[in-house]
Structure 1
Amino acid sequence: MATWNSRGLRGSILEELINHCNDKYLENNLALIQKIPTPIKPINIDKETRHITLAYFDQKSTVDYIGVVQGIPVCFDAKECSSNTFPIQNIHEHQIEFMSNYEKQGGVAFIILYFSTCDEKYYIPFTDIMLFWNRSKEGGRKSFTYDEINKEYKIRSVRGIMVHYIEMIQKDLDSRN
């Protein structure tokens, strides 16, 4: 079983920015997106602060966020990268399977990837994720690089929304037609 500790907080700044963005989308009737908590089973709890100090993941999670944008079902995961190379192993097989099934049902699946070295955020369409995933499974490179991603999917900040990703969903949908 996987254990949880301070590593579980990786990407929390990105998630806070996305949560703020999702609140703004809801306020403006643009989208309803919910953060999906990862189920954990506490092992040790600090009696004074009542904080969990050790836990294990109770079950596999799917993705970080699920919701609907203007009638379009979406699911996505938030990932952070501290170099110009993103290891494909950071996307788990059960997540790929979930996103694949989600897309088969007419939804849109993607990853929001934050490259902290250059302070840039990108929408990675599921079709691109699958290209990188399949390449790795077929014996090719086990990661993808900043240079390989489509720069047209760079996520902008707009009017205080630091991760304004919904315009990238439209770009993704337009590319499918």
Structure 2
Amino acid sequence: MAIRYPNGKQYVPVQRTDIQKKINPSFSNRGKTLEDELNESNEYYLSRGMAVIHKKPVPIQVVNVRYPARSAAVITEAYFRTPSTTDFNGVWSGKYIDFEAKETKNTTSFPLQNIHEHQVNHMKDVTEQGGVAFLIVKFSSLDRYFILSYDHFKGFWERMLVGGRKSITLVEFEKTSTEIESGYNPRLDYLQAVATLVDQQTKELKGRETYE
């Protein structure tokens, strides 16, 4: 039976030999994008009843379609109907999860030009409604992954808007975010990092309420 992701892409399990597992834990994931890794992790969560999180479909308007065969149709021209928000959303432990996934080959910083203003506004709206909004950033050359909450991200975004640096340094990620360790099942167990993020937000909220 063929298993497909919500975006229609077929899931193909990766076969690893015992030798490959011992030599290099990330052997089978070479060349995979962050989106691929998150889709596999989300399938793992869903199959075990841990969370329901999917890649959001891209809203497009089809303009032209070519039919090379009766049973086949090829879209030759299409446009985005509305600006996309973030990449993934869903429900975990009774909480609404919404996040953007980005990767960079840069080894020292993450360029903020990779994020759009409407995405930042969307994460702000989600947070104000009690949802959990964040970014997952992969430094692909370093094989390192970080989860950065919107509350911490907005400080870097506002710094850029007033003329400050236009990127978030690796050191700043190490200080303000939670690093995600890669593995096998799931490839990226980012929900552990989300749990840490939620605990921190809860403590900060209680602290503000006590102060007030």
1:41 Cα deviation from its structure 2 partner: 2.5
Residue 37 of structure 2 contacts residue 188 of structure 2 at CA under 8 Å; is this kept in 1? Answer: yes
Q: Across the two proteins, how many residue pairs are aligned to each other?
A: 167
2:60 to 36, 40, 47: 40
CA distance in 2, matches of 1:109, 1:29: 21
Q: Amino acid of the residue matched to residue 78 of structure 1? A: A
1:109 Cα deviation from its structure 2 partner: 0.3
Asked if 1:140 is matched to 2:160, the reply is no
Aligned to 2:199: 174
Asked if 1:25 is matched to 2:45, the reply is yes
CA distance in 2, matches of 1:19, 1:92: 22
Aligned to 2:100: 77
RMSD value, Cα = 2.0
Structure 1 alignment gaps of length 5 or more:
1-10
CA distance in 2, matches of 1:147, 1:53: 44
1:125 Cα deviation from its structure 2 partner: 1.2
Larger radius of gyration, structure 1 or 2?
Answer: 2
2:150 to 118, 126, 140: 126
Q: Amino acid of the residue matched to residue 172 of structure 1? A: L
Structure 2 alignment gaps of length 5 or more:
1-30, 204-212
Residue 44 of structure 2 contacts residue 185 of structure 2 at CA under 8 Å; is this kept in 1? Answer: no
Bigger relative contact order (CA 8 A; separation at least 6): 1
CA distance in 2, matches of 1:54, 1:164: 37
Percent identical pairs in the alignment equals 38
1:140 Cα deviation from its structure 2 partner: 0.4
1:107 to 131, 134, 138: 131
CA distance in 2, matches of 1:166, 1:71: 13
Aligned to 2:180: 155
CA distance in 2, matches of 1:159, 1:103: 31
1:148 Cα deviation from its structure 2 partner: 1.5
Q: Amino acid of the residue matched to residue 71 of structure 1? A: G
Q: Amino acid of the residue matched to residue 97 of structure 1? A: N
1:89 Cα deviation from its structure 2 partner: 2.0
